[in-house]
Structure 1
Amino acid sequence: MTGIWGVGVDVVDLGRFERTLERTPELRSRLFTPAEAVLSTERLAARFAAKEAFVKALRAPAGMSWQDIEVVLDEHGAPHLSLSGAAEARVADLGITRVHVSLSHDTSVATAFVVAES
């Protein structure tokens, strides 16, 4: 049977996220790939929300590193997830054929929505 396998959503308070990164600078390299780590706080918060939403949609794969999920933009600027390691293995194990992601941020919050399709 094909259809929606899982849905995840996450919201990040930008002020709190920025304070956390300032207080614990090593989080940037733990949570984000080198390509992501150089982005603005707003964009990092949206990417973190996407990673959390992915984990919620696929029920936290064992052994997953936050860097196993990378938000990349296509040639039109639309986001999608580039998966590796335990995240990629979980998608394959579950028979997920597509993972959709939507990101948004404004002055105080960032949010992401992930839909896993089988």
Structure 2
Amino acid sequence: MDIVDVPRFRRSLERTPALVERLFAPSERGLTVRSLAARFAAKEALVKAVGGPTGFRWHDIEIVTDEHGRPSFSLAGTSAARVISDGVAALHLSLSHDGDSACAFVVAEGPERTP
């Protein structure tokens, strides 16, 4: 899980406009600041769910929505390779924003393990 303070995130983007290109895939870049904050929270939550940032490239982690508005990950490059190498079989994503906060919850499923 990760939570982002939207006004603080907005200030970061205003101070450093290049962050948008560094953190987001081309399809995400035209979204509102609230939506970008939620997507950043999703990327951070994914990194936490898998166990650390090694191998992840922010713009290779894209949040897409299906025809019903349900969010999911579209991974490419070293980010996709990292998830596969860690044995992740499925990723589940929930996004939310309310007031000045945006948050994301990620569940990374792997193969069932026996004790």
Q: TM-score, normalised by structure 2?
A: 0.91
Shift of 1:61: 4.4
Match of 1:36, SS? Answer: coil
Partner of 2:99: 107
Taking the aligned partners of 2:38 and 2:14, their CA distance within structure 1 comes to 17
Task: Within 5 Å, give how 1:1-118 maps onto structure 2.
Answer: 9-118=1-110
Shift of 1:45: 0.2
Partner of 1:6: none
Give identity over the alignment, percent: 57
Q: Which runs of 4+ in 1 moved over 4 A?
A: none
Taking the aligned partners of 2:10 and 2:20, their CA distance within structure 1 comes to 11
Shift of 1:62: 2.2
Q: TM-score, normalised by structure 1?
A: 0.89
CA RMSD in angstroms comes to 0.9
Unaligned runs of at least 5 residues, structure 1: 1-8
The superposition leaves residues 47-97 of structure 1 with CA deviations (integer Å, 9 ceiling, x where unpaired) of 000000000011224232101110000111100000111221112112211
Matched-pair contact (CA < 8 Å) for 2:56–2:82? no
Instruction: Give the length in aligned residue pairs.
Output: 110
